Amino acid sequence: MPTAPRAVIPTAPIADTSDAWVIRRALHPDAPRLEDLLDDVEGFRTTSVYRHPLINDPSRRRDPDRFARTETLWGDLLGRSIRRPQFRLVAEGATARPSAVTRKARIGDNDLSDLSAPNRIITGYRNGATVVLQGLHLSDPHLARFANNLALQLDQPVQINAYLSPVSARGLQVHFDYHDVFVVQLEGTKHWRVWAPTEQSVDPVGGKHRLPQPKVDELGEPEMDLVLEPGDVLYLPRGHPHVAETTDCSSAHLTVGLLAITWHRVVRRAIDDQITRGGLRSSIPLSTLEPTVELTLESTLGSTLDSDAYRNVPGSWNEDDSVLDFAITDSINGLNLDLGSVDVRRWVASEIWERQASTRLRPLSACSAQVVDGPLEVTPGPLLTLSRTGSQSVLFAGDRTITMPSEAHEFLASILRSSGPFTRSELPGLDDGSATVVISRLLDEGLLAPSGHGAQSNTHRPNTPTGQGLLR
């Protein structure tokens, strides 16, 4: 089958460099990031992303323990009574019935029916089923920070799952995903075949636009046929059919998914914003369904409509015999949408970070008054954005939004733009008393910490992925 052409990657609108929209990306220093997945980050960003599968150079395999340890994944599954849908078992494309891998229990007066049943899971695994651990970016603190680092670097929602497969097993049939995936091989080996996207599966969109999955005999020769070994990282753009199966040894790998925020959703949001502001509310023209009326793209963009086409259409002429534009100019010209508006950017930020874990936590106790006057730094965690709404400054922190009087805006913008430790007295925009109030609030929210302490708070030691229960 011929390779379908890849769609052109649209570029994001150029950011406003004024204080109307200010962001701060503070990555977790102890967790992996994009550079840990790719040999060439710049080449990925400019050439490969969304388009071309990639595999690392075999001489540059990663340390799998940098990401996760297979024994820890098994330990959390079998020893912590996790609940569905955090896990499932699949074999040859079929998912095991929940009742076959879960058990019931009581906590007080509450009945639980979806707890993992360890020995049933082991039985399924020994019988050839692949164990899928889902949503690890929400339940494992180390992987949560890893996912958030990628979300900060890519401005895409990130999810992490794990696949634990026995010898000679195929969990899923050939399929394509609706999101891009990094496959990180942790243990054992796995045979992968990857095909070019079909004409229908280029940049697929889920929901009501979901497509049937292809059959192997429809795809021709794969463009990649390889065996992943521990430390290998494979990148698969969405829409590329693929299938994976274990060889003569068991396998464990992570899938790091980049969940697509597509342009059609951004445009819909921008249209909603236009309507809120009073635009795009005009009715469509009278007699639009007349056979003699042709609403071309040119006409909908507000140009003068051909008079002969509309001469006999009721309601289409002014008294001076000139063509009416049916308010098309007023309504459709509104489609000159500002896709880089602050409102749209706020929506994109919310779409990303409502899916991610809260890895920037408030301190368990209030900071001492002396901390306010000492050197401070922004703590790592979800994206920070600063914008204005009316007379207020709006500071978005991923899992919460903090509002302050607009008088604090310049001061807050200076904090987000700081490149290292700073002191309150160095920042412009507020008098001493007001600055103390704002700094105290940000310390209390966990957005700031004393210099040298922010990166260590609520983190694991570097290169020590652990499973320590759910993030709360």
Fold: same for 26-261 and 362-450: no
- Predicted pLDDT at 318: 42
- Predicted pLDDT at 460: 37
| pLDDT tens, residue by residue, 150-193 | 999 999 999 999 999 999 888 788 999 999 999 999 999 999 99
Nearest of 257, 89, 251 to residue 186 by alpha carbon: 251
Distances in Å between the alpha carbon of 419 and those of 24, 199, 414?
A: 10, 46, 10
Domain boundaries, given as residue ranges, for the chain: 26-261, 362-450
Query: Which tokens go with 90?
Result: 């699949």
65-98 burial: b if 16+ Cβ within 10 Å, else e:
ebbbbbebbbebbbebebeeebbbbbbeeeebee
- Predicted pLDDT at 452: 87
When the candidates are 3.30.428.10, 3.40.366.30, 3.40.190.80, 3.30.420.610, the CATH number that belongs to 362-450 is 3.40.366.30
The alpha-carbon radius of gyration of the chain (Å, integer) is 27
How far is residue 418's CA from residue 376's CA, in Å, rounded to a whole number?
10
**Low-confidence spans in the chain with pLDDT less than 50:** 1-17, 297-334, 459-472
- Predicted pLDDT at 455: 58
Q: DSSP for 134-150? A: --HHHH-HHHHHHHHHH
| Residue 290 DSSP class | -
Q: Residue 342: which H helix or E strand, with range?
A: helix 342-353
Question: Does 26-261 carry CATH code 2.60.120.650?
Answer: yes
- Predicted pLDDT at 381: 98
Q: How many CB atoms lie within 10 A of CB 362?
A: 14
- Predicted pLDDT at 299: 45
How far is residue 408's CA from residue 150's CA, in Å, rounded to a whole number?
30
106: helix, strand or coil: strand
Distances in Å between the alpha carbon of 365 and those of 49, 166, 362, 424, 447?
A: 43, 47, 8, 21, 14
> pTM to 2 decimals?
0.84
How far is residue 186's CA from residue 254's CA, in Å, rounded to a whole number?
7
Q: Which amino acid is at 224?
A: M
